[in-house]
Structure 1
């Protein structure tokens, strides 16, 4: 990969960094301040107000105490459904800082400004970033990403490339381990974003031997491993001392070979598809998704071929070593966990690593045609970023904001009929995931239905009634709740909220309209 001899400096660099900060805000602006919540958002709002400390305890029981502290404090300040937009704004602003930080670090590692800026611009547009931007309670994942980036920035000062000797002082390395531990105690999978910068530094150092690369990579993997181990040790100590109760989800995978095969077929393709979204397991993957997976593999193969032509087996070995080892470390936490849930929010770092090699491959191919190739490569990468921005904007609206706003509007119709004096009986007919009004769905993230269970229906209705009667301490006493997926509600109920109206059909031809905001 062609790199600059030194990091460019000047107003242009800082101007680009500022634009990268603004890119996520512009992309997600149409959904940040829309009125909607998503599934757990409603329960979190109530718990922050009525059960202080619960959010922290639940998150800490899963090894994420800093996540719990950030979420509880921010949700308490948010206060209500409208306040959820503030949580989304926090996540989007942090994604902008991520893009700017990555850009500056790439320049420091020798990347040329154009590919560095375009790679940094792509990262806050990936599907994993869309979850952070559009789901209020996921915003603390973004600070964890920044901590992972900060850990690399610290480590690079204490881990020079061989054959340079290590600095005698351990301060930078100790600080890097500490930052990695803090990131892990916030959200384990997000702290592993450290590896994305390691991948970027590796592809930029073409002159290094395979042996030196292996030594340098091992040192960074050691920093990451020590940070993960420190966080795990502190969590286990808190459990042993009785400060926290471990979650039932804190179990390790026992069938590693089976999990490995599952990860290759259910997780890795999502990372290879970059900005193209998959469909939920059990349904055929979209043609565009399969095409993008193929394009990524072909381009990586071509990039490796160019690397072989320029640096021989040493160059190919360096790339393959980095790609395999960094892919393994970025998915290590989810691989060891005893759950199999191929969500996008857990593969951000994995997608980032493959994005680095994808961009490096295109830059390598551009170098084959010295006169115009680099410009063509820049145009191709610009097209990737533009397409990703369009997809991020469209999917945020169609798969997050609008479907969830429709659910909220339906529940709000019922909440407006609650009369405290009569204590009316409310029946909520739950929706199924197949009732989603979104054009497509992926697990509990993209296009999913929130009100498919009793606890979500109760929390959403309670929050809406609370908005109507803010003076009431416990609004659940103002009505009597029941729910189910029965075809018809019992005649003994006064208010029917039929969430199956989300998808228009023979039974509900009109569905629900959002042309006008529902009255408050």
Structure 2
């Protein structure tokens, strides 16, 4: 009965929590452009993403956007993200449960990962579904190795090669998410009894070697494509030249964002109290758990804690640390945030070890925490992604639907500023973003609205041009003016 309850919770809760977001009709900045490119410039998405070292990402995007065709069908791509997150949660749950983690504990951790801000954003952004596929492949690569790692002979060799190939394929989609394999690796590393055929060093070293080798193979393949002129390398693939300022950036942005777990950073500091309390609470939890292990005199357990606390966070962010680009977006934090959450569960387990805690009280505690987490995970992507983006799309689509297209229409979009957004909160380029603030995105949104009204072709004798900018045009200059500054009127 307990197993069935865990399974159905992992299967159904993500869909229930994210349903309002994934079923809402909207697109984000890249959606409008990708819909047009997949329709009019076949192969271009592959070139763009391959220039960043992700050729498979582009192929998956081009196929899915071509099938979607219209903004109203983007919900199926978001639904695919939720489905892949469910697969990730169920597989991780079973993997941890068979590796000395408790069944409910494993299910709670897996569900917690599905509700992280990183998951919230990829559910809200249709273009991010291949990133979730990368997470599933990373877990598959780990499972392939773990299945045979304790055995010898040909089966072990085949498993290691298979895991390496899976990691390599995943790195061609989204490199930073391959490092999510560190979550199950670390979780099992912490609970190993020491009586296994392979000692901890060999076991962990083998897993890390296979993962890093697979990522290296993917990188070498991409470099070969660049050197042969198949794709042109983007300047964004440059390597970091100032490691000290990069470490400072890591401490100020990705690390606290991950420690704060479900409280997202806010450019206007409206939620800074909850953000700071959660981050400090996690640090305190790790500190007290570490002190208890230190006081126990268990040298092996202490050595594991030191490795996990002081080395693995940097490895989980290796791609961001090595790359010159300094993006603090939540979409790049899956590995680090997952590692923090897993270590939080293990810290609670460490502090409760040896104490008599009634099972029903522990389960009730999990239920209470996840009721709150589920509520936050349902509201944040809807209020900061789906609803405001839906406002922009409705405003643009309504203007296009009311316009006459029986001649050449000269259209102009007045772009809003970030202060004219419809949300009360905003964080960098993700939560609360104003798509139409970009002139190019505003033009692409207009084109998508025209295609939604005339899916086959424009009426005979009609055509249109569209320009965008922050300045209000002179009267009579354009036939149709779409004022996106009206978004500010929708702010609650």
Compute the TM-score of the two structures, normalised by the length of structure 2. Answer: 0.94
1:70 paired residue among 44, 56, 60? 60
Whole-Å separation in 2 of the counterparts to 1:214 and 1:167? 22
2:332 paired residue among 315, 321, 346? 346
Asked if the contact 2:316/2:336 (under 8 Å) is kept, the reply is yes
Whole-Å separation in 1 of the counterparts to 2:254 and 2:449? 37
SS at match of 1:444: coil
- Superposed displacement of residue 169, structure 1: 3.9
1:325 aligns with 2:325: no
SS at match of 2:163: helix
- Superposed displacement of residue 189, structure 1: 1.1
2:39 paired residue among 26, 49, 68? 49
- Matches for 1:216-365 after TM superposition, within 5 Å: 216-280=203-267, 283=269, 286-310=272-296, 312-365=298-351
Asked if the contact 1:159/1:166 (under 8 Å) is kept, the reply is no
**Range moving further from structure 2, 432-441 or 44-53:** 432-441
Number of aligned residues: 491
What is the match of residue 121 of structure 1? 111
- Superposed displacement of residue 327, structure 1: 1.5
SS at match of 1:442: coil
Measured against aligned partners, the alpha-carbon deviations of 1:441-465 in whole angstroms (never above 9, x if no partner) come to 1111111100012211111111111
Whole-Å separation in 2 of the counterparts to 1:406 and 1:208? 59
SS at match of 1:193: helix
- Matches for 1:98-109 after TM superposition, within 5 Å: 98-109=88-99
Measured against aligned partners, the alpha-carbon deviations of 1:193-243 in whole angstroms (never above 9, x if no partner) come to 11010111022225579x943333222221111011000000001111222
Q: Which runs of 5+ in 1 are unaligned?
A: 1-10, 505-510, 514-520
What is the match of residue 415 of structure 1? 400
Asked if the contact 1:469/1:475 (under 8 Å) is kept, the reply is no
Whole-Å separation in 2 of the counterparts to 1:114 and 1:357? 16
Asked if the contact 1:28/1:133 (under 8 Å) is kept, the reply is yes
What is the match of residue 159 of structure 1? 149
What is the match of residue 500 of structure 1? 485
Aligned-pair Cα RMSD in Å: 2.4
Asked if the contact 1:213/1:318 (under 8 Å) is kept, the reply is no
Q: CA 1:475–1:33 in 2, change beyond 3 Å: closer, same or farther?
A: farther
Whole-Å separation in 2 of the counterparts to 1:299 and 1:212? 28
Whole-Å separation in 2 of the counterparts to 1:119 and 1:81? 34
What is the match of residue 393 of structure 1? 378
Asked if the contact 1:125/1:392 (under 8 Å) is kept, the reply is yes
SS at match of 1:424: strand
**Range moving further from structure 2, 180-189 or 323-332:** 323-332
- Superposed displacement of residue 252, structure 1: 0.8
Whole-Å separation in 2 of the counterparts to 1:475 and 1:324? 67
Whole-Å separation in 2 of the counterparts to 1:166 and 1:201? 23
Whole-Å separation in 1 of the counterparts to 2:413 and 2:145? 54
Whole-Å separation in 2 of the counterparts to 1:475 and 1:22? 49
Whole-Å separation in 2 of the counterparts to 1:445 and 1:474? 37
Asked if the contact 2:421/2:491 (under 8 Å) is kept, the reply is no
- Superposed displacement of residue 192, structure 1: 1.1
Q: Which runs of 5+ in 2 are unaligned?
A: none
SS at match of 1:441: coil
What is the match of residue 102 of structure 2? 112
- Matches for 1:426-441 after TM superposition, within 5 Å: 426-441=411-426
Measured against aligned partners, the alpha-carbon deviations of 1:74-124 in whole angstroms (never above 9, x if no partner) come to 111111011101110110110111110110000121111111110011111
Q: CA 1:296–1:474 in 2, change beyond 3 Å: closer, same or farther?
A: farther
- Superposed displacement of residue 483, structure 1: 2.0
- Superposed displacement of residue 310, structure 1: 4.0
Whole-Å separation in 2 of the counterparts to 1:101 and 1:154? 12
**Range moving further from structure 2, 463-472 or 126-135:** 463-472
**Range moving further from structure 2, 482-491 or 437-446:** 482-491
What is the match of residue 214 of structure 1? 201
Whole-Å separation in 2 of the counterparts to 1:259 and 1:476? 56
Measured against aligned partners, the alpha-carbon deviations of 1:404-453 in whole angstroms (never above 9, x if no partner) come to 01111111232123322232322211011222211211111111100012
Whole-Å separation in 2 of the counterparts to 1:216 and 1:169? 13
1:143 paired residue among 114, 133, 141? 133
What is the match of residue 36 of structure 1? 26
Asked if the contact 2:259/2:278 (under 8 Å) is kept, the reply is yes
Asked if the contact 1:359/1:381 (under 8 Å) is kept, the reply is no
- Superposed displacement of residue 503, structure 1: 1.3
Q: CA 1:238–1:446 in 2, change beyond 3 Å: closer, same or farther?
A: same
Q: CA 1:476–1:16 in 2, change beyond 3 Å: closer, same or farther?
A: farther
What is the match of residue 517 of structure 1? none
Asked if the contact 2:391/2:487 (under 8 Å) is kept, the reply is yes
